Amino acid sequence: MPASLKLIVGLGNPGPEHSETRHNAGFWFLDRLAEKYGVTFTVDNRLFGLQARIRDGGKDYRLFRPTTYMNDSGRAVQAVMNYFRLAPEETLVVHDEIDLEPGTIRLKKGGGHAGHNGVRDIISMIGSHDFIRLRIGVGHPGNKDKVVGSVLGRPSRVEKKLIDEAIDKALKLMPMLLEGEIENVMTQLHSSEKQKEESEK
């Protein structure tokens, strides 16, 4: 039986100047999730972040938004995991992914950081790769020298619509994901993308 999730972390940069940028896709997802369950975030300075609790299927789950900058995400994630004595396998980290096109969303367990500085810092601070990742496609600018400017920039209206639709897909599967049905959610996200590709041919 797979371990159920207990903590969902959304990654991004704090401050209104960053709120609409691609790098904050993890925050967008977490805000939508909190809205879906009718909860609001409260500041917890001990944990360097904002947290909320949702209830689904008779179980409680913690939502967490670091108030550290993206490159320092590990300090906040380590703090909340240590405080609540949570294992990496019980933790879902939601983040933007430049290697996926807008409209694509993928789930995976473990692996490297693939150049994502927030994920890199989490791995370094908690000493483990074994957390679950929900990767929200924001697209690649086509040149590695433009990556920083791209993730710190705003998506176009069309791109934002595609990203929001991808987030919708994942939100519908959250009850399964909260129960730890990782493989089933992976399959459903992948099959929905395949169906979309087929319909566009």
CA dist 57 to 87, 133, 174, Å? 21, 22, 11
Hey, which residues does 9 pair with through a beta bridge?
A: 64, 93
Task: Name the active-site residue from 23, 95, 113, 190.
Answer: 23
- 113 carries an active-site annotation: no
Please state, in angstroms and rounded to a whole number, the distance separating the CA atoms of residues 35 and 127.
32
Q: How many CA atoms lie within 13 A of 183 on its CB side?
A: 3
Q: How many CA atoms lie within 13 A of 178 on its CB side?
A: 17
Q: Which helix (H) or strand (E) holds 53?
A: strand 49-56
CB 42 within 8 A of CB 116: no
DSSP code at position 2: P
DSSP code at position 153: S
β-strands 59-66, 7-10 pairing: parallel
**What count of other Cβ atoms lies within 10 Å of the Cβ of residue 132?**
23
Task: With CA atoms as reference, report the closest residue to 138 among 93, 103, 114, 169.
Answer: 103
- Active site (catalytic) residues: 23
